[in-house]
Structure 1
Amino acid sequence: MLVTDAQLQQLATRVAAALSARAWRLVTAESLTGGQIAKVCTDIPGSSAWFDRAFVTYSPQAKQEMLGLSSELLERAGIVSEAVAAAMASAALARSQAEVSIAVTGVAGPGGGSAQTPVGTLCCAWMDRDRLAEKQPPQVETCHFNGDRDQVRRQSVQYSLARLLDILA
């Protein structure tokens, strides 16, 4: 599925309105998308009012250094897993001033897939301060997208932001 820049901008504008209505800020922890969620959000003028920061943790080492994920978790669960996405979402929120986080990890391709995590796999997590304070786990989902590397990444940005809107509604 082809996701256009205009579609992503329209979605990010809706996210901005939803976050602004709550006086909330967003933090992202991105692997698969390489910072594209943050880019789409910060392309909107005035985004500093509702976008706090982004952690682009593409490598396992970056996930450990920037987010404090353990090597044991990464080895046991696998880099592309709901457990890692959840840990990324919680850690990003804890290391920011934001009220809600999105975390994404996956396989964009064309290589790097396996039987367990084929190309096009996205593991995404969303966490907010209330869930964190109540020691509840993040909301986590795994999806599979078709297309080339750019299409998988764009669909991942679209999905993660659309689900955030659902969560905020």
Structure 2
Amino acid sequence: MAMPDEDDPTELVERARAGDQAAWHELVDRYAWLIWAVARDHRLSAADASDVCQLTWLRLAEHLPALERPEKLHAWLVTTARRQSLSLIRSKVSRPDIAVLAEPVDSAEHDVMRGVRDEILWRAVNSLPRKCRLLLRLVAHNPELSYADLGGAIGLAPGSVGPEKHRCLATLRRRVVAAGLTQEAAG
């Protein structure tokens, strides 16, 4: 007899469809970090990321009765959070804030150097193993998370989170240096 897959949300989705509030809360508990990470990966502020999270959960509530592949909820949430993030970004670009317009414009050279630095850094981050990328993004965007929360999110024992974070940062540092980004250029 096959054991049910604990990562498969199908049963929770079915219970939530039937109106089981506990199942809905368990879905939120299980996937809130994921939606937050997607929003923050789009470099949204905490307030904007919170809006994206709320909108993503609202979309799920609206689409839950018709969700065809509940076992693919993870992918559905990622796609929806990404779309909500991009929609929010587009709305801000189409009506920029006055404060942004009042900021002094950097020199073209500075903009180019910042772009090069960012490209090197993001290539180094994206070259890390998946677990490192996820851990570092969660730490960067959710500094309030405990090691127990972080460990639960990525499948590590709480006591392993600190050493794993240290290894991931050391690997990132080596890759950035190997790519030619010096500490002065990183600032």
Task: Pick the structure with more strand per residue.
Answer: 1
Superposed pair shares fold, TM > 0.5: no
TM-score if structure 2 supplies the norm length? 0.21
Instruction: Identify which of structures 1 and 2 has the higher relative contact order when contacts are C-alpha pairs closer than 8 Å and 6+ apart.
Output: 1
Query: Could you say which structure has the larger radius of gyration?
Result: 2
Report which of the two has the higher share of helix. Answer: 2
